[in-house]
Chain A
Amino acid sequence: MSILQVLDLGLAILVLAVAGWTIAARELFASVVGYVAYGLLLSIVWIRLYAPDVALTEAAIGSGVTGVLLVTTGARLRGAGGVEANRPPGISLRFLAPGLAVLVAAALAAVVLLLPEPPTTLAPEAREGLAATGLGNPVTAVLIAYRSFDTMLEKVVLVLAVVGVWSLAPDRFWGGAPAPLGRARPEGALLFLDQALVPLGILVGIHLFWVGADEPGGAFQAGAILAAMWMIVMISRLTEPPRVGARWLRLALIAGPAVFLAVGLAGPGMAGGFFAYPAGFAKPIILFIEAFMVLSIAVTLPMLVAGPPRRSPEP
């Protein structure tokens, strides 16, 4: 076995061990920390699978932003007090669960090993269409050109998630701001992090967006980085979450899907079909759409983490 294979095996074992820890840990906080570590290990797995775009997204959103969400929630759940009234599952379920899990995992493993040869792929078709889009990164091409309809709908799903989260506020808090993300005024290390990391992070985010057309990167990854920077600033209480009634917030949240929709609707006039791009002009349009997507994602993710409004709107 070569070094790489040994490393792969080690990585696989580590991933499974951390995942098992996440399930089995007694304390909620330990479980969440395990999940964040798991996400980062998973990003390395994605690199080994030659999927840098996915690795970036997994690290930024799957592990990073989800981690912030879960840690904040864990803290809020601990702080509120109250009683855990959950009954552990009965004996029959405890016997059923491992059996079912092993069955499904084994079936899945068998099927994965038996996937047909030669492997099916759409890479040749993706390569063919790439020239017309002017892009160099085929994943971006799939997201914003070939299957743009999916991506546009997914942006709408994000808007709905925000509406759903906000609708969970008590009536009297509507229009107000969510609770602050952090505890106290920043001091020392956190302030230094803000001053040093955040500007750098913003630059990295913008760079990822620009470069994503031809290299790994793109709107989702860039948006996630910018979202993380805003969250850092909110966690250290340098700024507070905005009021949910703020007009600029509403517009920023829908900017991505709205621009995507508008360009898609203009498709028949420009290029003969909805969501089609005119020849030779595809790349600028794609970057234009992606810019607004970055804005929307950068605003949506922190608002989803911040949660429903918990302060009364000022009179």
Chain B
Amino acid sequence: MIETPPALAVTAGGSLLMLAILAPVAAILLSFALGGRFAERVALGLTPIGLAIAIAIAVCVWRSGAPLVYNVAGLPPPLGIALRADGISCVMLVTAALVIAAAAFYARANFATPEGVTEARAPLAFWILIQAVWAALTILFVGGDLFNLYVALELLTFAAVPLVCLSGKPETLVAALRYLMFALFGSVFYLLGAALIYGAYGTLDIVLLAERMRPLPAVWLAAGLMTAGLLAKTALFPLHLWLPPAHANAPAAASAVLSGLVVKGSFFVTIRLWFTVLPSLPGGAAEAVLGTLGSAAILFGSVLALRQERLKLLIAYSTLAQIGYLFLIFPLASGAHPWIADGWSGGMMQTLSHAFAKAAMFMSAGLLAESLGHDRIAEFAGAGRAMPATFFVLGLGGLSLMGLPPSGGFAAKWLLLRASVAADQWPWAIVMLAGGLLAAGYVYRILAPALSAGAIVLKAPPQRRREAIALALAIVAVALGFAPPSFFDFLQIGRAATTALP
């Protein structure tokens, strides 16, 4: 056996982390080999298993109050690879499991293999790609090694890009190619940064790097390169050009997963990089830059969303804006100040509530497009009466995007506002309030025509079960607003104290 020093760092239940990754991987291979209708069955069968493992991990972390750790092959870093699940890993794992499960069941109507055919292109591809997204996200959330995270980022890209152009239409092909270009840019600069970090410290393990970290020229350049790459993958302004056409033109279930989860994957790696690996720059210059870019994204994305004529494009531009809120976590949760707990919780709550709200909204938009045959907002007159449940879900999702109570979005923005006030960093607060107003504007734009009188012709009757799935996600987004304080304490578990916390 490969010699292992006493496994001090490994915790009980750590094997769950490995199972969380291996389950979707095994499912992918099984789906590919069996093909045909089995791919869908394997994918749907995976959803409860993956959810159960995610919940088990969360329970373990909650009980122990400390992160779960696992060294693959029993070999600890620096030579081996470690997996770690702290508070934020757990909530992201559960969120991913729920959103992907919902998207999978929602997509059954679109991606069922037709009768009389053993296997069809779009269904087989969809079911395999969605499982691959899940596998990649799981590794991103529990991975403890920067090169492992690189492989996971590549897996995520290879799974997400074909989802965008699954329909085969020319505009989706252009969008997918542009997405791939930005994603490859991200990967290659991330890799370059990782090479420099290895050259400086001899390891790519996140926790070991945090221990060994000292300011070096190599680290500054590496941080810059890796962050630039990750920002391209997360579509933060100004590297956001690829997202709206890609997310708007993908199949609805895919858009839900792309906007809700995929962009959060690279965001999560950015958090790991800046909050665990790297020390704070004196004065927080880098964090301020990220916050500024986030603010620009909020304003830019919201204004553009107001001008959209198609519902799915509007929702996609709204994603750009909501991603901007995520990056306010950097100036508001770094350093050693009393307000960073609020900033941290606010940023994470934004990640979670946006995932559920946006997924619900894209699913509703998909149902609308199927029933009406189009998604031009101007022609929605009277649709509110014809499809009340769908518009109710859009409204609930919009509530979270606007940051109105009760919703997870409100909790998130409230925490971030509180943090920015306590930190005396007023610009973020002003931007957030402006963003909220603009969001109210574009949510109103979606709902107003629909609630006005008008005769509408439905091409297909609304589908209750799929509406219910979207509704369930929207309700979760709202329910997050009622999260008890212990939830926010849970988010703090394992938060690396790179500088001494009071």
Contacts and interface: CB of A to CB of B under 8 A. Distances in A.
B249 to A, nearest CB: 15
B216 A116 contact: yes
Contacts of B73: 145-146, 148-149, 267, 273-277
A122 to B, nearest CB: 6
Interface stretch (B160-168, B291-299, B398-406): B160-168
Interface of B: 1-3, 15, 18, 22, 25-26, 28-29, 32-33, 35, 71-75, 78-81, 118-122, 124-125, 128-129, 132, 135, 139, 145, 147-148, 151-152, 154-155, 158-159, 161-162, 165-166, 168, 192, 196, 198-203, 216-218, 221
B84 to A, nearest CB: 14
A276 B74 contact: yes
A8 interface: no
A258 B158 contact: no
Contacts, number: 177
B190 to A, nearest CB: 14
Nearest to A160: B158
Given A146-B73, A147-B80, A254-B32, A122 B147 contact: no
Contact of A171 (B120, B155, B192): B120
Given A120-B201, A148-B72, A160-B129, 7 more contacts: A133-B2, A156-B25, A157-B154, A159-B28, A161-B158, A163-B32, A276-B1
B81 A150 contact: yes
By DSSP majority rule, is chain A's interface helix, strand, loop, or mixed? helix
Contacts of B71: 273
Given A156-B25, A261-B26, A120 B129 contact: no
A257 B29 contact: yes
B119 A145 contact: no
Contacts of A167: 121-122, 125, 129, 162, 166
A125 B2 contact: no
A86 interface: no
Contacts of B162: 163-164, 167-168
A265 B72 contact: no
Contacts of A125: 78-79
Contacts of B74: 271-273, 276
Contacts of A119: 199
Interface string A86-120: 00000000000000000000011011101110011
B39 to A, nearest CB: 10
Contact of B199 (A115, A159, A273): A115
A166 B22 contact: no
Contact of B1 (A110, A114, A132, A148): A132
Contact of B29 (A115, A149, A157, A254): A254
Contact of B72 (A250, A273, A278, A282): A273
A279 B200 CA distance: 33
Contacts of A164: 125, 129, 158-159, 161-162
A121 interface: yes
Contacts of A314: none
Contacts of B25: 152-153, 156, 257, 261
Contacts of B202: 120-122
Contacts of A160: 28, 128-129, 132, 155, 158-159
Contacts of B196: 111
What are the nearest 3 A-B pairs in CB distance?
A: A120-B202, A167-B125, A273-B74
Interface residues of A, number: 64
A112 B198 CA distance: 12
Nearest to A276: B73
B134 to A, nearest CB: 12
Nearest to B18: A274
13 contacts: A110-B217, A116-B218, A129-B79, A146-B73, A150-B151, A153-B152, A160-B129, A163-B129, A174-B120, A257-B25, A258-B29, A272-B1, A276-B2
Nearest to A115: B199
A170 interface: yes
B3 A129 contact: yes
B123 to A, nearest CB: 10
A148 to B, nearest CB: 7
A113 to B, nearest CB: 10
Nearest to B196: A111
Interface in A282-298: 282
A153 B33 CA distance: 17
A306 interface: no
Greatest chain B CB density within 10 A among A121, A167, A169, A265 is at A167
Contacts of A129: 2-3, 75, 79
Interface string A118-137: 01111001101100110000
A271 B1 contact: yes
Contacts of A277: 1-2, 73
A140 to B, nearest CB: 14
A133 B2 CA distance: 7
Contacts of A272: 1, 74
Nearest to A253: B32
A150 B22 contact: no
A42 B202 CA distance: 25
Nearest to B159: A160
A168 B161 CA distance: 11
Contacts of A264: 22
B200 A157 contact: no
B211 to A, nearest CB: 14
A175 interface: yes
Contacts of B217: 110-111, 114
Given A146-B73, A161-B158, A111 B218 contact: yes
B79 A122 contact: yes
A270 B140 CA distance: 28
B1 A156 contact: no
A275 to B, nearest CB: 4
A119 B201 CA distance: 9
Contact of B33 (A122, A250, A267, A282): A250
A159 B28 CA distance: 9
Nearest to A113: B217
B85 to A, nearest CB: 15
A122 B203 contact: yes
A136 to B, nearest CB: 16
B79 A126 contact: yes
A269 interface: no
A132 B151 contact: no
A146 B75 contact: yes
A300 to B, nearest CB: 12
Contacts of B18: 274
Nearest to A273: B74
